[in-house]
Structure 1
Amino acid sequence: MELRSRAVGPWPMNSYALVCPTTRHSVLIDPGAESDELIAMLDDTTPVAILLTHTHPDHIGALEEVRNRLGVPVFAHPGPCVAGMAPVDRALAHGDVVTVGDSVIRAWHTPGHTADMVCYLVEGAPIAVVGDTLFDGGPGRTWSVDDFHTTLVTLRTIVLTWSDDTICYPGHGPSFRLGDRRAAIERFLAHAPEGFCGDATWDV
């Protein structure tokens, strides 16, 4: 699949589009802000859905406007959502498949940063849109000790099962090859502090 990206909003946050190269059908992932920029990212494609990695405000700030302008359904994990957000049109469980033209995207539930976090891996291509599950420099911020423990389980039992060739496209910052961070993640898991939550780096 073809991957397009835009850094939007004040932080900024990375929004993505995945485009089937044969049918030109597309999905938009995490419409955080700047609706016009997001719509422009879909030029020369036929949008079929909006996918959410999770429902923190910086990832869904433009959701309602973009949903209304595109007239497409919203797919997300059925976990807790931001108050006032319209219900999703399709709830995605771990392993569910989203078909985009001739291409297939698989949802991986990766809780920790939030309970509703989902990563999207493209079948047959080394593309993983990982939201705030992990970044080049460390895991996503956690808000409680239990959340941090959940992040450790997610890294160990889900993320590290992916191929080294997987390119991770996070919600903030640059993309990275998983194999280039695997050793650092394994060291992090071996030495993760007890009773911790908050921001961490792979060196902690």
Structure 2
Amino acid sequence: MTTYDGKVQPGGDAQTRDVGNARIHKRSVGSMSNNAYLIESDGQALLIDAAADWPKLQEMVEASGAQVVAIATTHRHHDHVGALAEAVAHLGAPTYAGADDADAIDVPTATLLHDGDTLTVGDLVVTATHLRGHTPGSVALSFRDADGTDHLFSGDSLFPGGVGATNHYDYQSFPQLIADVEERLFGRFDDSTWVYPGHGDDTTIGTERPALPEWHARGW
């Protein structure tokens, strides 16, 4: 098993991390180096962002040996859904996405997620957090492991060093995104919370919190 440091590259191996009563698999896929995650607990799994390269994602799923009971999409952007149709066809699992993004995703969404909604995966309760600004219906997904640590899958709303892009589409808004990230992520999660973003390396809430004033000041 590859040592977990959260640094994955397209074409490279998946990394696996054991956390309390869960196992997290992370793989980078596609031309935009998207992170896809598989959260495994008690023989069941949640696939987050079937972004691209279904064979690589299928390899990650099959290596886990778990039954995928849900496929969640953090937001509507094309680079996060490139393998969604294939994942659904092969796994037969129900789809989840933010209520305000679902209509813009080509694959039908079975369950619309609102702020605070939950789904159960094995022993885990996974909670959706609605974050506006990068897209209208972006959601982060989180769970608390048996050791009391929160794990937050932030999509493209929070990265090491700042929030997601807000200058490409008319529906994007930096003031809205920074407000939601500050209130709904930094306001709800403590500094030990591990953050798994939609691209790039992992971080923690504690690592990023001191930079919030700088992010506000620079406007991105």
TM-score bracket, shorter-length normalisation = 0.7 to 0.9
Q: CA deviation at 1:192?
A: 4.3
Instruction: Tell me if 1:66 matches 2:92.
Output: no
Instruction: Tell me if 1:153 matches 2:179.
Output: yes
% identity of equivalent residues: 32
Partner Cα separation in structure 2 for residue 192 and residue 6 of structure 1: 31
SS of 1:42 mapped into structure 2? helix
Partner Cα separation in structure 2 for residue 66 and residue 163 of structure 1: 33
Counterpart of 1:27 in structure 2: which amino acid? L
Partner Cα separation in structure 2 for residue 71 and residue 83 of structure 1: 21
Corresponding residue of 1:183: 210
Please tell me the root mean square deviation across aligned C-alpha atoms, in Å: 1.7
SS of 1:113 mapped into structure 2? coil
Unmatched runs of 5 consecutive residues or more in structure 1: 194-199
The counterpart of 1:115, out of the listed 128, 136, 142, is: 136
Distance 1:167 1:102, change over 3 A: same
Corresponding residue of 2:154: 130
Partner Cα separation in structure 2 for residue 133 and residue 85 of structure 1: 21
Q: CA deviation at 1:157?
A: 1.0
Counterpart of 1:148 in structure 2: which amino acid? F
Moved over 4 A (4+): 81-84
TM-score by length of 2: 0.82
Q: CA deviation at 1:55?
A: 1.3
TM-score by length of 1: 0.88
Counterpart of 2:128 in structure 1: which amino acid? A
Corresponding residue of 2:198: 171
Unmatched runs of 5 consecutive residues or more in structure 2: 1-21
The counterpart of 1:26, out of the listed 42, 45, 48, is: 45
Partner Cα separation in structure 1 for residue 105 and residue 119 of structure 2: 26
Partner Cα separation in structure 2 for residue 139 and residue 6 of structure 1: 21
Q: CA deviation at 1:165?
A: 0.4
Q: Deviations over 1:149-201 (max 9, x none)?
A: 11121122112111100111001110001101110123323x244xxxxxx3x
Partner Cα separation in structure 2 for residue 112 and residue 183 of structure 1: 21
Distance 1:35 1:68, change over 3 A: same
SS of 2:208 mapped into structure 1? helix
SS of 2:134 mapped into structure 1? coil
Partner Cα separation in structure 1 for residue 155 and residue 171 of structure 2: 21
Corresponding residue of 2:165: 141
Partner Cα separation in structure 1 for residue 39 and residue 86 of structure 2: 20
